[in-house]
Structure 1
């Protein structure tokens, strides 16, 4: 796990808690022996990522880059590198206030959201895909503790 433009621990957020959420998400998605890079950043850093790779000159809450290509072949190695998840802590903090949840619950939601993108879920293709992804996201978030 890396941080860009922010320092952890921050408020109730620690590297250990974030790693625990990511590991629980991976286990629930049957990603055993997998490596996921999690980058916690500020809005400036994620805005640059968003502009460079998506052509959108604005910050966002979470961006994922999957190293897998459908149909997700099995790689014969001890540790498969699934991909990278970038999360803006600034955006997560604002959204936690907006949604009236703890910042750790919002970070959990963003980690799960990013993990779902890494395994092939995408809410931008259709309303049906968005509904399916949100149902899966809610299910996983309900099964993972934020503490």
Structure 2
């Protein structure tokens, strides 16, 4: 049985992260895993502000500006692996879903949160909420759709996709849109 787990922290104050949003991201993780043949692993997701993502972008990519999403794969070769160092403190926010919410999430509910399974980390995805909200407004769609898009984008980077040329970009963005459409998050 496939096991993909999402661990998350909220390190920003601009937007409340609802249990519904986390349930949607878990659905997206499952759909993306199915689409790409990734059967197990753990993804760590951090919601941050622009200052934090700018600091990380400068430190790891040499770009002194905020960005929407960063991904740090754990499956890279040991020589290339990045060690993420962040001086701030995150408080992990646990969410409880009532039975109706769990039923709505269906098979995608967080059934593995306390099952004791030790999953191999796939990597870290960091999303800037202020940038995501601004982009959602700019593109004329919901914040949920934009955050979902950025999450799937980050996941595809974790498993080796990139968009460093036109063909690779077309492939990666096509995969993102197909996964989002399956989850009902089309434009």
Report matched runs for 1:40-119 at 5 Å.
40-69=47-76, 78-119=118-159
Quick check: 2:28–2:180 contact (8 Å CA) kept in 1? no
Does residue 1:32 correspond to 2:72, yes or no?
no
Higher relative contact order (CA 8 A, sep 6+): 2
Quick check: 1:63–1:86 contact (8 Å CA) kept in 2? yes
3-state DSSP class of the match of 2:13? coil
Larger Rg: 2
Corresponding residue number in structure 2 for 1:137: 176
Q: What's the Cα RMSD here?
A: 2.3
Q: Size of the alignment, in residue pairs?
A: 139
3-state DSSP class of the match of 1:18? helix
- Measured against aligned partners, the alpha-carbon deviations of 1:33-52 in whole angstroms (never above 9, x if no partner) come to 21000111111111111011
How much has 1:24 moved relative to structure 2? Answer: 3.4
Corresponding residue number in structure 2 for 1:74: none
Structure 2 residue ranges without an equivalent (≥5): 1-7, 78-116
Structure 1 residue ranges without an equivalent (≥5): 71-76
3-state DSSP class of the match of 1:122? coil
Cα separation, 2, equivalents of 1:132 and 1:33? 23
Output the TM-score relative to the length of structure 1. 0.83
Cα separation, 1, equivalents of 2:19 and 2:173? 26
Output the TM-score relative to the length of structure 2. 0.66
Runs ≥4 residues deviating over 6 A:
none
3-state DSSP class of the match of 1:87? strand
Quick check: 1:85–1:114 contact (8 Å CA) kept in 2? yes
How much has 1:138 moved relative to structure 2? Answer: 1.2
